[in-house]
Chains A and B, each alone.
Chain A
Amino acid sequence: MALAGTAAHAPEHVVHDKAKMKLVGLWLFFFSESVLFGLLLSARFYLERINREEVDQLLGLGITCVLLLSSVTAFTAETAIEHDRRKLAGWMLVVTILLGTGFACGVGFEWGTAHFSKEQAFGSIFFTMTGIHAAHVISGIGLLVLTWFQLARGRFSGKDHWPVSGTVMYWHFVDVVWVFFYPALYLVK
């Protein structure tokens, strides 16, 4: 109670500093994640001279468009809650969850129908990269669902929406990773 009272009466600059610290912390987390994904990309290009196995190009393009579209709906959700449009934010979060689920299902379909195995060099790096990325997509969907539940219970407003912003930023980061993974796995020969 004493702590809650202290926070409620904290000077405005302290509140600003805390918000800034959360933001910087999230970006540091993205940086550390970038190292992991960068290493996977470098492994892919270290194996550049191997023959790329046949992948489903239309499926790759399709799931890429779905993930990019989900970033747009996530952006709309964040913008809506910043302007106190809770209903629109809720719907956009639902659409983002559905699109993310569609992307994960597409990756699962690609895994199920792939004509190469994990014992081959390309198969090994393909399943590792798409698997780790899909794990991030699934955790992002989990965060979006939690955020939606909190929003539905009246938790957020135009002045207090950090959890929505943080979750949406994480979703965008997962999208940025795929922006590099898609050409590396599907388009570069």
Chain B
Amino acid sequence: MTDAFRNALRIGGLVAVVLAFVTVVEYVFAVNVDSDQVRFVGLALAAIAKSWLIVYFFMHVYRVWRAEAH
């Protein structure tokens, strides 16, 4: 197994752990917070954070504007 492959898998595993953690925190937060406004803001922040993790690390959005080496 090459170092690059191992590093890529390690990053994927790390992102997976963070996504799982945020999802559980999001659920516990939503169930226990009474204020509608606070709940909405908290859930919106969690959704934005999770989507950014997926878009950046899994979908590699940076490749769109990365200069190609000719």
Interface residues of chain A, those whose CB is within 8 Å of chain B, are: 12-13, 16-17, 19-20, 23-24, 27, 57, 61, 64-65, 68-69, 71-72, 74-76, 79-80, 82-83, 85, 169, 172-173, 175-176, 179-180, 183, 187-189
A79 touches B9 (CB 8 A): yes
A180 touches B27 (CB 8 A): no
Selected contact of B16 from candidates A72, A172, A183, CB within 8 Å: A72
B58 touches A75 (CB 8 A): yes
Q: Number of B residues whose C-beta is below 8 Å from A? A: 35
The chain A residue sitting closest to B66, CB to CB, is A20
Residues on A with beta carbons closer than 8 Å to the beta carbon of B61: 27
B23 touches A65 (CB 8 A): yes
A-B contact count (CB 8 A): 85
The 19 sampled A-B contact pairs (Cβ below 8 Å) are A61-B27, A65-B20, A69-B16, A71-B58, A75-B15, A75-B58, A79-B8, A79-B9, A80-B5, A83-B2, A172-B55, A180-B47, A183-B30, A183-B43, A183-B46, A187-B26, A187-B27, A188-B40, A189-B39
A188 touches B51 (CB 8 A): no
6 new A-B pairs (CB below 8 Å) besides A183-B30, A187-B26? A12-B70, A19-B68, A76-B12, A169-B59, A180-B47, A187-B39
**Within the complex, what minimum Cβ distance (angstroms) separates B26 from chain A?**
7
B43 touches A187 (CB 8 A): yes
Contact A24-B64, Cβ < 8 Å, known A179-B54, A187-B30, A189-B36: yes
